[in-house]
């Protein structure tokens, strides 16, 4: 089901809309404001809390950062724009298993400067500041590298 975000209806400037479209993104003015409509070219991975912070640090340290939208709220949320979903079923499953939300297939993602009910969506890293839109497998690798690992416990005593 496509994501929706509560909005107060702010819209992007015509220049911002043109910039988004010139990047090949499908954008629309919706009830939520200016939104990226995910498709086979661009999708999004939403992360929260400590996982979001760890992934952001990992991507920055490895020069893999792409555009990131910050969504305000009681717990900070970040939406990473991604490419390469067509052959990444395992990466998508791993992301979902780690608690990420993967927005695909027509999901509506608020693009700055959209005002939401709890504040304004803003660019953590804008498209003009990033060198690329990373593949979803890069985000999955960052999640795997930064997510807390569970070590199996021994249930028997060694003699």
Helix (H, G, I), strand (E, B) or coil at 123: strand
Query: Using CA atoms, how far apart are residues 103 and 79, in angstroms rounded to an integer?
Result: 9
Q: What is the pLDDT of residue 112?
A: 86
- Residue 119 — very low, low, confident or very high, per pLDDT cuts 50/70/90? confident
pLDDT in tens, 126-148: 999 999 999 999 999 999 999 77
Radius of gyration of the chain (CA): 17
Please determine, for residue 155, whether its predicted confidence score (pLDDT) is greater than 90: no
Tokens representing residue 46 in the block: 């939403």
The pLDDT-based confidence of 150 (bands split at 50, 70, 90) is: low
Question: Measured in Å, how far apart are the chain's first and last C-alpha atoms?
Answer: 54
The DSSP 8-state label assigned to residue 99 in this structure reads T
Report the C-alpha dihedral over residues 81, 122, 12, 7, rounded to 10 degrees.
100
Backbone angles phi, psi at 5, to 5 degrees: -125, 135
Q: Report pLDDT digits (tens) over 4-60.
A: 444 444 445 677 788 899 999 999 987 767 899 999 899 999 999 999 999 999 999
| Tens-digit pLDDT profile for residues 65-93 | 999 999 888 887 999 999 999 989 999 99
Report pLDDT for 13.
65
Closest CA to 80 of 55, 106, 117: 55
Pick from 105, 81, 129: nearest CA to 3: 105
Check: CB of residue 121 under 8 Å from CB of residue 109.
no
Parse the chain into domains and list their residue ranges: 14-146
Whether the pLDDT of residue 151 is over 60: the answer is no
pLDDT at 153 over 70: no
Query: What is the enclosing helix (H) or strand (E) of 52?
Result: helix 49-61
């Amino acid at each position: 089901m496509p994501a929706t975000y509560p909005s107060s209806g702010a819209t992007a400037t015509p220049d911002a809309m043109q910039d988004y479209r010139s990047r090949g993104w499908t954008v629309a003015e919706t009830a939520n404001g200016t939104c990226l409509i995910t498709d086979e070219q661009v999708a999004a991975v939403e992360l929260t809390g400590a996982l979001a912070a760890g992934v952001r640090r990992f991507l920055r340290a490895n020069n893999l950062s792409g555009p990131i939208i910050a969504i305000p709220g009681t717990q900070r949320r970040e939406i990473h724009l991604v490419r390469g979903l067509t052959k990444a079923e395992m990466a998508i499953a791993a992301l979902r298993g780690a608690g990420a939300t993967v927005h695909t297939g027509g999901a509506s993602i608020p693009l700055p400067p959209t005002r939401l009910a709890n504040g304004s969506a803003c660019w953590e890293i804008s498209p003009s500041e990033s060198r690329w839109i990373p593949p979803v497998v890069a985000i999955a690798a960052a999640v795997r590298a930064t997510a807390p690992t569970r070590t199996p416990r021994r249930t028997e005593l060694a003699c």
